[in-house]
């Protein structure tokens, strides 16, 4: 169902970083068009 | 437990924390200035939700910051803290103070060596002159101040009253605009205030400071050397540390931890006898979450500039010290996940000393005030960090899963620092840690700070630094 879907991954410093989300989603067949880690404090 | 006889310890002579309340500069914070530019009506909404100085003083987290209330006591106080103000709260704390905006404007003018600041003469005589420090301020009539603002200078307000102007340092250089220079000068004067107050408290001659390390979050320099730095030496000069030089240590929010390790190393190596580690406030972060606060009908809580100063020297018997041999850095190979951070900054350095996660009495982590962060959906940052440490302790078989909450409660604390980046990152607890070590409530505390290197777009990496603080048993 998720194969080939495009996704933007926004990670968080004190949570899950962007590259980790991207790796998981990429492995599940999604296309990560942009990933970033932000710090909300 | 650790082998204490081989410990490498450097003394912490004293620490001072200050909060400078600058409600009328919140508009110049990065987020408010961008949002007000896009939605000018926000300016009036923001003004209505700014706190007067007595409310900022009586705000319980601020009283914790300056040492009048312990973090443990704060967790038992009724919420919301911004409504349940502390009766009789004063601006002087056991190891800190609160500074009002009038005082700050006077400090700003007194530290300005380039005619950036102009104050309205009548306002200065009525409100500023009593705080005079350093250079005589440039005073002008209200009409002349207004003219400077009309030409592009930043307006300095006290409520609705125009009281001054802040000009750019160069007509073309984008690194010397009024926005950048106000941020830099604010960092300088707030750090200098904390160091001056600390030296006074310790009855220490400024001339006895050998070296100043600044870990503030500004970037000083012109177009050819953006971020060139050495705010430390400017602070040393401002405070009268005439025999000192200095340098800056930068690592985003983890800067203060690195600065402490570098400072302690200068002492341990014999290069210096007294080192001051200082940081000024971050003007850019004022009002960072103001929209959420407005939506919730709260006061805008990010209205203070945080600063601190620490004096390091050789360890004395029974006094609090940095355990230099416990210092740990997050390596490039470490990975960015919170678990990897906890492994490299807590588990591994403790294991090196023969200690477990449960051998630490108190952890100081990212101690952001949750009353500021929760309304914007940023979560309770300290609690998240404590749960990560507790989960690691479970994974290593040091506690049971059903003991995680107890781990968080007994070895953690509630956040109380304003969202000033480097200020909440562990270092804010040092004053309370020294008290708790001296009165025997704890035998050690581990300080763990993280830095968001990825924000600068040079690497995807995070960073971090940690060390133990304990009494010198030698």
Domain boundaries, chain A: 6-38
pLDDT for position A14: 83
Q: In 3-state terms, what secondary structure has residue B242?
A: coil
Q: How far is B199 from chain A (nearest CA, A)?
A: 31
Q: What is the DSSP string of B22-87?
A: -GGGGGGSHHHHHHHHH-TTHHHHHHHTPPPHHHHHT-HHHHHHTTSS-HHHHTTS-S-TTTSPPT
pTM for this entry: 0.95
Q: pLDDT value at position B3?
A: 58
- Which residues from A are below 8 Å from B384, CB to CB? 14-15
- Nearest Cα residue in chain B from A19: B460
- Nearest CA to CA, how far is A18 from chain B (Å)? 9
Banded model confidence at residue A40, pLDDT cuts 50, 70, 90: confident
A19 pLDDT tier (thresholds 50, 70, 90): confident
pLDDT tens-digit readout, B390-412: 999 999 999 999 999 999 999 99
B103 touches chain A (CB under 8 A): no
Among B337, B339, B383, B426, the residue to mutate for chain A (most A Cβ within 10 A): B337
In this prediction the ipTM stands at 0.78
Task: With a cut of 70, list the residues of chain B below it in pLDDT.
Answer: 1-5
CB neighbours (10 Å) of residue B396? Answer: 14
Contact call for B373 and A41, based on CB within 8 A: yes
Portion 279-338 of B in contact with A at CB < 8 A: 336-338
Domain ranges of chain B: 319-471
Write down the mean pLDDT value for chain B: 96
Chain B residue numbers with beta carbons less than 8 Å from the beta carbon of A14 are 338, 366, 379, 381, 384-385, 450
Please state, in angstroms and rounded to a whole number, the distance separating the CA atoms of residues B438 and B427. 18
Q: Are B307 and B417 in contact (CB under 8 A)?
A: no
- How many angstroms away from the CA of A3 is the closest CA of chain B? 26
Check if B387 contacts A (Cβ < 8 Å).
no
For domain B319-471, which CATH number applies: 3.40.47, 3.40.50, 3.40.1130, 2.60.120? Answer: 3.40.47
Residue B5's pLDDT is what? 60
User: A16 and B337 in contact by Cβ < 8 A?
Assistant: yes
| B196-255 pLDDT tens trace | 999 999 999 999 999 999 999 999 999 999 999 999 999 999 999 999 999 999 999 999
Integer Cα distance of B437 and B439 in angstroms: 6
Q: Do B381 and A18 touch (CB under 8 A)?
A: no
CA distance B455 to chain A (A): 7
């Amino acid at each position: 169902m998720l194969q080939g879907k495009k996704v933007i991954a926004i990670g968080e410093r004190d949570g899950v970083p962007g590259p980790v989300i991207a790796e998981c989603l990429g492995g599940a067949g999604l296309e990560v068009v942009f990933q970033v880690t932000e710090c909300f404090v | 437990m650790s082998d204490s006889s081989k410990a490498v310890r450097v003394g912490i002579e004293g620490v001072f924390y200050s909060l400078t309340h600058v409600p009328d500069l919140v508009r110049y914070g990065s987020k408010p200035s961008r949002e007000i530019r896009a939605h000018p009506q926000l300016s009036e909404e923001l003004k209505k939700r700014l706190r007067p100085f007595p409310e900022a003083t009586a705000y319980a987290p601020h009283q914790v910051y300056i040492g009048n209330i312990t973090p443990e006591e704060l967790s038992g106080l009724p919420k919301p803290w911004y409504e349940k103000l502390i009766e009789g709260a004063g601006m002087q704390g056991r190891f800190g103070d609160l500074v009002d905006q009038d005082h700050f404007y006077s400090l700003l003018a007194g530290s300005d060596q380039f005619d950036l600041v102009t104050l309205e003469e009548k306002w200065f005589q009525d409100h500023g002159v009593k705080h005079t420090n350093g250079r005589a301020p440039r005073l002008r009539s209200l009409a002349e101040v207004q003219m400077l603002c009309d030409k592009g200078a930043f307006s300095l307000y006290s409520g609705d009253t125009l009281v001054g102007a802040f000009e750019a340092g160069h007509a073309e250089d984008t690194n010397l605009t009024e926005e950048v220079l106000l941020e830099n000068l604010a960092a300088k004067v707030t750090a200098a205030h904390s160091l001056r107050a600390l030296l006074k408290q310790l009855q220490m001659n400024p001339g006895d400071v050998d070296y100043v390390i600044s870990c503030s979050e500004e970037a000083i320099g012109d177009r050819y050397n953006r971020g060139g730095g050495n705010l430390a030496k400017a602070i040393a000069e401002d405070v009268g540390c005439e025999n000192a030089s200095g340098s800056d240590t930068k690592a985003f929010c983890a800067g203060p931890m690195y600065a402490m390790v570098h400072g302690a190393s200068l002492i341990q190596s014999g290069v210096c006898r007294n080192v001051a580690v200082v940081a000024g406030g971050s003007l850019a972060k004022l009002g960072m979450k103001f929209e959420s606060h407005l939506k919730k009908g709260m006061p805008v809580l990010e209205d203070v500039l945080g600063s601190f100063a620490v004096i390091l020297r050789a360890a004395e018997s029974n006094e609090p010290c940095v355990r230099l041999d416990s210092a740990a850095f997050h390596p490039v190979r470490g990975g960015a996940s919170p678990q990897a951070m906890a492994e490299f900054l807590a588990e591994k350095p403790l294991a090196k000393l023969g200690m477990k996660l449960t051998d630490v009495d108190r952890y100081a982590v990212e101690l952001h005030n949750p009353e500021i962060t929760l309304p914007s959906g940023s979560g309770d940052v300290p609690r998240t960090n404590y749960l990560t440490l507790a989960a690691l302790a479970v994974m290593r078989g040091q506690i049971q899963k059903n003991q995680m909450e107890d781990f968080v409660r007994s070895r953690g604390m509630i956040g109380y620092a304003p969202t000033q980046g480097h200020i909440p990152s562990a270092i804010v607890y040092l004053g309370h840690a020294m008290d708790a070590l001296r009165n025997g409530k704890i035998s050690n505390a581990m300080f763990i700070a993280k830095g968001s290197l990825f924000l600068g777009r040079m690497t995807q990496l995070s960073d971090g630094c940690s060390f133990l603080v304990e009494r010198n048993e030698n």
